[in-house]
Amino acid sequence: MTRLTLVMLLTVLPFLPVLARTDDVGEAANLVGLGGALVLWWQVVLGVRQVSERLCGDRLRVVALHRWLGGCGAFLVLLHPLLETIANHQDPAYLVVLDFSWVESTYTSYGRLALLLFLALWLTSTLLRSAIRHRLWRSVHYVSYPLAGLVFLHAYGIGTFLTDLPWLRAYWLALAGCLALVTAWRLAVPLWAPRYRVVAKTRLTPTVTQYTVAPVGRRRVRRPAPGQFCYLRLRALSRAHPFSVVGQDEDGALTFAVKRAGPFTARLERLGRDAGLRLDGPYGTFTRQAGTDDRPTVLIAGGIGVTPFVDLVRRHAGPRMSLTHIVASPAEAAFRDELRDRLGRRYTAAYRADPRARYFVCGSPGFVEATTGDLRADGVRRDQLFTEHFDC
């Protein structure tokens, strides 16, 4: 995160000189608006994993930062129009009435449209999140791209600081250009993602199927480290889904174990031999510190949450590594017998706090939250805990 934090601070520096010029409500509104736009810019950048991965390899930390910035952005984006309303002595209708009759009102209306899009984005990500399906939430999230574009147009057309300070205006245009490039990258990456084909398919349990895929041609994803995951998509422009790599060979073939849990995994089950896929990755740093020294490594898996640990155990199983595989049902007990053989007595049904151990917890969000809560209550320190979760 150090590199990402440094880059974020550098993007803020050009705005610091204008703080001295902020001495009334109108200028405060402009500064708040610029700050909100920069937060939105970073949210779009961090939302493109192929870009953010180059700044920080820990995808879960990036997602957490993305969510935190969402709260900051909401405050700034909502405060800006309120301050503008006060500064211009307008009634509340000023926030939503669109007017494209002349130049300044057109740029102002770009801001009003951005506000309406932001409200839709904010409401579906907060108050309405538990009431809507993930697919709808994700679709609404795509408005962040036109939203950011409208915000930059709005500020460019009527922003006081951008009009008065040519160097700040040039910086603003550079940010807008970077935003356009990031958006283009986001749209184009699926088209050149490496192609793979299904070479083997094995039913491990009634609900878990193992797939081995081999690269088509010379292009392939980087060799995954233990515990990393890749995104799979069935077609170039279809939605990608993340799955942990449970095996790999020297020829570049990768193996995934997938629990049947929705429409995408049902479509995967219907794939035949030589069916095509596209892969993106690998991502993640979840188990990077597991087995790196003489400290005990405790792996705690909930159901199919065992998959990030499979390749790790196969490569690095040792006397100081143990696994607690908490299985919701026998149908999810994939790899149980193999891991028992590799770890022997170190495959347990419970865990015990150890001040020297590192604890790695993977499973559904509810499982991870409950398990980490139990570990913390047992005295495990926060710096000993490493977690990864996914929605089945």
| Rounded Cα–Cα distance for residues 300 and 189 (Å) | 34
**How much is the pLDDT for 30?**
85
DSSP-derived 3-state class of residue 84: helix
Please report where in the chains the tokens 């849990």 appear, as a residue: 261
* Helix (H) and strand (E) counts in the chain: 13, 11
Q: Which of 283, 313, 335 is the last residue of a domain?
A: 283
**How much is the pLDDT for 265?**
86
292 inside domain? no
User: Are 211 and 320 contained in the same domain?
Assistant: no
DSSP for residue 222? P
**How much is the pLDDT for 392?**
47
171 inside domain? yes
Q: Which of 191, 214, 231 is the last residue of a domain?
A: 191
DSSP for residue 74? H
User: Are 323 and 359 contained in the same domain?
Assistant: yes
User: Are 187 and 200 contained in the same domain?
Assistant: no
377 inside domain? yes
**How much is the pLDDT for 195?**
92
**How much is the pLDDT for 329?**
66
Please report where in the chains the tokens 């009003």 appear, as a residue: 112
User: Are 349 and 266 contained in the same domain?
Assistant: no
**How much is the pLDDT for 176?**
92
User: Are 267 and 312 contained in the same domain?
Assistant: no
362 inside domain? yes
Q: Kindly report the CATH number assigned to the domain that includes residue 317.
A: 3.40.50.80
Q: In this structure, what token pair is assigned to residue 331?
A: 């149908």
Give me the domain span that covers residue 18.
2-191
User: Are 227 and 310 contained in the same domain?
Assistant: no
User: Are 54 and 170 contained in the same domain?
Assistant: yes
| Rounded Cα–Cα distance for residues 366 and 203 (Å) | 27
Residues 6+ apart with CB under 8 A from 355: 379, 381
Q: In this structure, what token pair is assigned to residue 189?
A: 């990456």
Q: Which of 230, 260, 283 is the last residue of a domain?
A: 283
Closest CA to 200 of 129, 274, 294, 291: 274
pLDDT averages per 10-residue partition of the chain, 392 residues:
82 84 78 89 86 78 83 85 86 85 88 90 81 79 88 85 86 92 85 89 88 90 90 84 90 89 86 88 85 82 87 83 74 79 73 82 87 87 86 53
User: Are 123 and 210 contained in the same domain?
Assistant: no
Q: Cα angle at 244 between 273 and 317, to 5 degrees?
A: 110
Q: Kindly report the CATH number assigned to the domain that includes residue 19.
A: 1.20.120
Residue type, 227: G
Residues forming a β-bridge with 259? 208
291 inside domain? no
How many domains, the chain?
A: 3
What's the pTM?
Answer: 0.79
289 inside domain? no
248 inside domain? yes
Q: How far apart are the first and last CA of the chain?
A: 28
Contact 224, 247 (CB under 8 A): no
User: Are 175 and 204 contained in the same domain?
Assistant: no
User: Are 310 and 268 contained in the same domain?
Assistant: no
- Phi, psi of 237, deg, nearest 5: -110, 15
User: Are 340 and 381 contained in the same domain?
Assistant: yes
User: Are 120 and 179 contained in the same domain?
Assistant: yes
288 inside domain? no
Q: Kindly report the CATH number assigned to the domain that includes residue 201.
A: 2.40.30.10
